[in-house]
Every structure is written in C-alpha cells, then in structure tokens.
Amino acid sequence: MRQLAFDFFTHGDEAEKDTHSVDTLKSQPSIPDVLSQMHTQPIGEKKGFDLTPVFSYHLERAKRKTVGFIVDERGVTVRAPRWVSVAEIERMLQEKEGWIQKKLTEFGNWQKELGMQTVHFVDGAQLPYLGEPLKLRLEPAARSVFLSEGKTERELIVNAAKDTEEDRVKDWVQVWFKKEAERYLGGRIKVIADRALVSYSGWGLSSAKGRWGSCSSDRRIRLNWRLIHLAPTLIDYVIAHELAHLDEMNHSARFWKRVGEIYPNYESARRALKGVYMPTLPF
C-alpha cells in the first residue's frame, strides 16, 4: 500500500504505544492539531459514512490514544480508539472538510505526476542512496549483496540471475538498505549527539509511513530507515530535530533555537525535506 500518510493526530510510532512521544517530522507539511475534548461513550462498528459535500471515508478501530486521518489511494481512512464516538469523528471531519478535499486533490495529482511505483528491481535500475543514484546490477557469480564503488558510479551488486523475479530482488535489496540504514544512521546520531553534548537512552529504526522520526519521553529516538535514500544534509537535520526534542518536547521558539544550535542553517534542509514524499521512494 502506497500512501501519503496525513496521520496528523498521532504521537510517535503507534508500535511504541508511548502516549508521551512527540509527533515530529512527518513526510508531509505539518498540520495543526485540532483534536479537542472527546466524549467517551461506547459505540458500534460502522464501515463508512458520507459527508456533504459527499466523500466517503473508511473507519478503522485501533488500540491507540488519538484519532488519525490518512489520505491515500483508497481515499480517507480514519483510525480511532473505540471510545471515540462516531458523532465526534464526523464533527472532526466536518471541521477539516476543506483541508481533506484539498489533500485528496493533491494526492491525485501526485499520483499522476510521479506514479505509484518509480523503481523496477531489474538489472540496470537506479535507486536513491544517500541522495545519489545507485545502479542495481544482478550478477549470478557474486557471493552476496554488496556495494561496489567505481570511479564513475556506484553499484549495488546482487547475487542473482538477470531474469530473477522482481519481488525477490526487491526483498534482497530492501534487506541491504535496512542494514545500511542501521549502520549509517547509528554513526550519524552518535556523532551529532556527541557534538551537541546531548545524551539519549537509545535509538532504533522505524518503518512508519508518515514520519521521518520521533522522540519519546524515555529519551529514545526512532529514525525511519527510508532516510538512507536521502542526502546526508537532510538526514543530519532529522537527527538534529529529534535530538532537540530531548531538551524541548514541543515545537516552540525555544525548540527551533535548539535545533539551530545543533544544526546551524537548518532552514534549507527543512524546506527540502518537505518536498520529499515517501510514496516516490523505492520501498
């Protein structure tokens, strides 16, 4: 499932189940939190509803503390805890109706312009790696999957025949990218944290489809493994953003001042990151 995850009410990765996490660095422009007090009345299950002007949405009940909206090729999906009433959900949808209609249109335009799948996992394909093209080469004589750096180009060598099914090649390549993300991101967060004199309790990779990073109240940082596709300057900005949250668990002026202390001139990286949409990445 490819999506632009406009999940603008969640706090941190759902898998962490940490209600104190700071919701940060989504893959789309940030949306103000309009979640207000909710009624805690029991409700029954419903599959979909209509609003005026008419657009359908799909309701999913989930073990979470907040309500999230996701816009993707299915339309609008609302993920909400069971204690939030349908009436309250529809009230929230009506408040954001204009915004949702705009995002549905934008998503349709992005699909037309960029396509839902931009990479084919065949011999000679190119994948983004640290902001630069990485050529995929299928070589049955190779013993493993590894990076080869030549004078003119970099290649990812995969020990597979050239007629290997794309899905199998994709799986092998994705494993390599995740391992590379763990190596590279782990090195960068240590360097940047040491330089900024910031301590964190730990870090891990995230597979979230709607945010680049998150920081929880126990001082643990999560970084999206797909960052390995982006330029080092953008990666460093994401890391600086999350490290700044260890001092300021908000997005106040003091927070952005702290970001600037860790990563000077962060504004250009911040603008560039807003133009990166996860559905255009290979995985």
Q: Which residue ranges make up each domain of the chain?
A: 3-114
CA-to-CA distance for 169 and 279, rounded, in angstroms?
Answer: 19
- Tell me what percent of the residues of the chain surpass a pLDDT of 70: 77
Residues contacting residue 207 through CB under 8 Å, at least 6 positions apart: 224, 225
pTM of the predicted structure, to 2 decimals: 0.66
Tokens of 25: 């660095």
- 141's tokens: 């004589």
- Token couple for 13: 């990765």
Q: In what order do the strands lie in the sheet with 56-61?
A: 3-4, 68-72, 75-80, 56-61, 48-50
Sign, CA dihedral 17-19-21-27, equals positive
What pLDDT does residue 184 have? 98
Whole-number mean pLDDT of the chain?
A: 80
Q: pLDDT by residue (tens digit) across 170-220?
A: 999 999 999 999 999 999 999 999 999 999 999 999 998 778 999 888 999
The rounded distance, in Å, linking the Cα atoms of 21 and 245 is 10
- CA R_g for the chain: 21
Give the percent of the chain with pLDDT over 90. 47
Q: What is the pLDDT of residue 69?
A: 80
